[in-house]
Chain A
């Protein structure tokens, strides 16, 4: 390690790094967006995600994959957003890559060949959202049991759960929160429109 205690020897900002990616890939990636000091890049084509990731690792030293998460934009097209959170331990910069995946396809290439830690993250996303990763050596469910029929983090899956062949495990009675009088919804308009109201999850 070449840096002093708590300080990096050569300061490179995440924004500079993001611009380098933009120069390298042109229209494939969006202009870097900044929010709360974090830089996000959108990759237009999910099929190219491995290429972009490999470039960030080999040329820009983003050697640490912190996390992969997924968002279900239910009702929008494309439905899935897969989010990669990268970090370079040598320069300390962080970068977020996003890519949209359509519901019909629900598939994108795996980045295991770039970072091994992607293995379990991708299994978790497959388990929770049902997005498949092509080229993953062992794409099984990880948190739910093998043979569970649903993808529980999807927005159309109710909080109370759905019946399965193991009723004692995935219970079917309504949970206390579902449909209660004070359930708020993300993005539910301004303060006057966001008065607490009964929410019907089936809608």
Chain B
């Protein structure tokens, strides 16, 4: 309700202050609304305390930690290899990418990341890209469903199911993969796997086109997300955003390009960046990243050393017996392998003292492991730099001024996962 009042104060600053005070009277008290931790749009257990002025948010305070399991504490109490299954449960939408990130961090500490056999590197890249597609599909499906487009959710989940099938045939588990080992992989890919991947790529692009037709130029969708929660370039950098959220704001930073690891420098792909930094840009960046991932997958299928059946017996593990478990037949017949097996299982990979940080371009952003080693089989301290945790820290900055109904759109576009945020 608008009221007109004549104020008799000369000083303009004091006048503005008084006007604001009067205005607050008209509006009444702010209302505090609790959102979460069990709310379908918070994608897990995020709680946000919203302060509302009518329908407009004036303050937002995210409350994280409901899924805190103390992963960093656990890591200090077990060997490097034993921690691999825990990485599945960080970003549980892309466990394969987490496995790769963690293995690469420990290998950097060991100084063997350059010795990884090329076949292993290609398989790891394929795993990471499949995980990226899978995570983006879920993020996109949930984002669209929260805004009412349920069909998209069904389409993306059909495709995700195929990626789970691929994960199952490569490592036996659909969800908790634990596929990598320090210095290699759990096992080589099955002979039919590359064909399955090729089939997936062929089927996936039409499905993605269908999603694109449903959303990209859809009037309702565009009206809901365009111009919403704009994150400027400088804010994105200042708040340490990473992954599609950083690139959506127009910062061209992709660790696969800027600090190439594995065999990414042999592969051709583009890094999409947004122009404005709103929710629509973040959506577009994710769509294009999935297409680029398929492009990478196709190149890997063609270029992988050893091919599908690996008749040339290309290794997938480094040859160092003190890092990778020896084959079981040799353990049962040879003394040295038996000793290696025993030492590796009981006290783990013997890492040198020192500290390393390795950042991996995960679907959600930069998943980093900072390992502080004092030597031996366990880390003295392991800090996990979780992209979702850092990405969520911008919420108090971008929420004020938005409507309540926009919260689900903004949260969907930030695409976080609480397992990783809370660790």
Query: Judging by beta carbons under 8 Å apart, are B68 and A184 in contact?
Result: no
Contact across chains for A120 and B109 when beta carbons are under 8 A apart: no
Q: Would B346 and A182 count as touching, CB distance under 8 A?
A: yes
Question: Chain A's nearest CB lies how many Å from the CB of B43?
Answer: 18
Whether A69 lies near B380 (C-beta < 8 A) is no
Contact B77 A183 (CB under 8 A): yes
Report whether A196 and B383 are in contact in the complex, using a CB–CB cutoff of 8 Å.
no
Determine whether the beta carbon of A184 is less than 8 Å from that of B354.
no
Q: Is the CB of B377 within 8 A of A194?
A: yes
A187-B252 contact in complex given A117-B240, A153-B73, A159-B73, C-beta closer than 8 Å: no
Q: Which of A63, A142, A145, A152 contacts B73 (CB 8 A)?
A: A152
Residues in A78-121 with C-beta less than 8 Å from chain B: 83, 85, 89, 92, 94, 96, 115-117, 119-121
Chain A min CB distance to B337 (Å): 17
Q: In the bound complex, do residue B368 and residue A66 qualify as a contact, i.e. CB atoms below 8 Å apart?
A: yes
Interface of chain B: mostly helix, strand, loop or mixed = mixed
Cβ–Cβ contact A187 & B374, under 8 A: yes
Contact-size category for B: 35 or more
Given A64-B237, A66-B240, A69-B370, the answer on whether A184 and B378 have CB atoms closer than 8 Å is yes
Pick from A69, A115, A184: contact of B383, CB below 8 A: A69
Assuming A5-B257, A120-B389, A184-B347, is B368 touching A142 (CB within 8 A)? no
- Among A142, A143, A157, A185, the most chain B Cβ lie within 10 Å of the Cβ of A143
Rounded to whole angstroms, the CA-CA distance of A178 and B78 in the bound complex is: 10
Complex: A129 Cα to B76 Cα, angstroms:
14
Quote the shortest CB–CB distance from A33 to chain B (angstroms): 10
User: Which chain A residue lies CB-closest to B79?
Assistant: A184
**Which of these, B109, B252, B347, B366, contacts A1 with CB under 8 Å?**
B252
Task: Determine the residue in chain A with the shortest Cβ distance to B63.
Answer: A142
B348 CB-CB contact with A under 8 Å: yes
B209 interface hit (Cβ, 8 Å): no
B374 CB, nearest partner CB in chain A, Å: 3
Q: What CA separation (Å) do A116 and B398 show in the bound complex?
A: 13
CB distance from A121 to the nearest CB of B (A): 8
CB distance from A65 to the nearest CB of B (A): 6
Nearest chain A CB to B25's CB is how many angstroms away?
Answer: 28
Asked, given contacts A69-B381, A89-B253, whether A187 binds B353 with beta carbons under 8 Å apart, the answer is yes
The residue in chain B whose Cβ has the minimal distance to the Cβ of A182 is B346
Partner of A184, one of B74, B348, B357, B359: B348
- Majority SS of interface residues in chain A? loop
User: Complex formed: what's the CA distance from A63 to B73 in Å?
Assistant: 30
Could you tell me if A143 and B422 are in contact, using CB atoms closer than 8 angstroms?
yes
Q: Which residues from chain A contact B259 at a C-beta distance below 8 Å?
A: 92
**Across the interface, do A36 and B109 meet the contact criterion of CB distance under 8 Å?**
yes
Residue from B68, B253, B357 whose CB has the most chain A CB atoms within 10 Å: B357
Contact B239 A116 (CB under 8 A): yes
Q: Is the CB of A186 within 8 A of B251?
A: no
Q: Does A156 contact B (CB under 8 A)?
A: no
- Tell me whether A188 is interfacial, beta carbon within 8 Å: yes
Q: Is residue B372 contacting chain A, with contact meaning CB distance below 8 A?
A: yes
Residues in B with CB closer than 8 Å to A28 are none
Residues of A within 8 A of B68 (CB): 143-144
Which A155-203 residues sit within 8 Å CB-CB of chain B? 157, 159, 177-178, 182-189, 191, 194-196
The 0/1 profile, CB within 8 Å of A marked 1, for residues 302-331 of chain B is 000000000000000000000000000000
Complex interface bits, A41-73 against B, C-beta within 8 A gives 1, otherwise 0: 000000000000000000000011111011110
B206 cross-chain contacts in A, Cβ below 8 A: none
Residues of B within 8 A of A5 (CB): 257
- Can you name 5 A-B residue pairings with CB atoms under 8 Å? A35-B355, A83-B372, A92-B259, A144-B65, A188-B376
Counting from the closest, the 5 A-B pairs by CB-CB distance are A187-B374, A117-B240, A69-B383, A143-B65, A186-B380
